[in-house]
Structure 1
């Protein structure tokens, strides 16, 4: 599968690296050519690109810029677009209330790119856990949450999750994306106030306690 990574921050670089190692063709797209080149280094069938080139390349596009819409929405027409984004903290450093007002980030992206097939996915994953062996992660029962209106697109997202050792829970249509975003808010708020316990539990899997898995 051809996957375009738009933005090579921690989420884009980690997922893109995992998918490249799983055998997918990956284009890392960044406004900074040096960052894109660094992300692609050492990975078979991975390449550096601009953000626009990565979006055009992918059958699936991971869109990581939070609440930033493409200047040309048609570049994502017909593509499966995965939205892994979460809201930022409030002025006091805490996270939003469980039910936010207005559309979710995923719904905003879908509205801005009406011919894309947007799926909320991967927003509750702690990226450092994807550095674990995929079989060990799979044995843990770790899962992501999906929300989207296109059943085929959600199936593809679930397959890409399985490639890195994650199960998938379908929350329903894109109107349910706020649930995944609210879950991430709750987890991050708990990490902020009680970091020792929640850093272990955030992905519903205490990998540090899995004795005997290699």
Structure 2
């Protein structure tokens, strides 16, 4: 079992943190709002409500969900496995068809801001509501998550945490490949936006109920 810090408890942080807490990991849910943190831990043995900085300090593994927000102290993540699940916001027209932005991916930005962290791009191509399904059903569906990172052991840990949520892992390579995962997320979300009735995803978003993903 591991100590996991959840920095930010929106849908991604709360969903993954809940899964990991129920699997027996010690999980710190870190929020800027104490009430939200307290609500996130209700009914979860081994979970604690903290600030974001406290969650980062607590975890051997840290799920870093604030999009494009870098740690104030570069050393706060030193030596830790840091999972980056972030994607771009939709464009001004509400879609995801804009070109790939120039410059580093979110994961590469985080690695540059915390150079001693062990950053892995992970979980950015997964629909969070599907992770609330039974892990055995997810496993049977063949759902997968993409990983990118320069630290092989950190990717093995990320893959094990994914497996606990019913997801297989596909290794894209080093952190320089993180933009591929982010671009895939754009493509999947654009497909769901433009063809919601016909879109079926065989690799990442297992449609367990046989209904269009909304």
TM-score, length-scaled by structure 1: 0.94
- Shift in CA distance, 31/204, structure 1 to aligned 2, threshold 3 Å: closer
- Shift in CA distance, 98/161, structure 1 to aligned 2, threshold 3 Å: farther
Q: Which SS does the other structure have where 2:198 is aligned?
A: helix
Please state how far the C-alpha of 1:96 moved relative to its aligned partner: 4.7
Structure 1 segment 67-106 matched on structure 2, within 5 A: 67-97=68-98, 99-106=100-107
What is the distance in 2 between the residues matched to 1:164 and 1:204?
Answer: 13
Which of structure 1's runs of 4+ aligned residues deviate more than 4 A? none
Please say if residues 98 and 182 of structure 1, whose CA atoms lie closer than 8 Å, have aligned partners that are also in contact: no
Please say if residues 126 and 205 of structure 2, whose CA atoms lie closer than 8 Å, have aligned partners that are also in contact: no
Q: Pick the structure with more helix per residue.
A: 1
Please say if residues 98 and 183 of structure 1, whose CA atoms lie closer than 8 Å, have aligned partners that are also in contact: no
Please say if residues 98 and 185 of structure 1, whose CA atoms lie closer than 8 Å, have aligned partners that are also in contact: no
In structure 2, stretches of 5+ residues that fail to align are none
**Which residue does 1:115 correspond to in 2?**
116
Please say if residues 81 and 118 of structure 1, whose CA atoms lie closer than 8 Å, have aligned partners that are also in contact: yes
Q: Which SS does the other structure have where 1:4 is aligned?
A: strand
Q: Which SS does the other structure have where 2:119 is aligned?
A: strand
Aligned residues: 209
Please state how far the C-alpha of 1:173 moved relative to its aligned partner: 0.1
TM-score, length-scaled by structure 2: 0.94
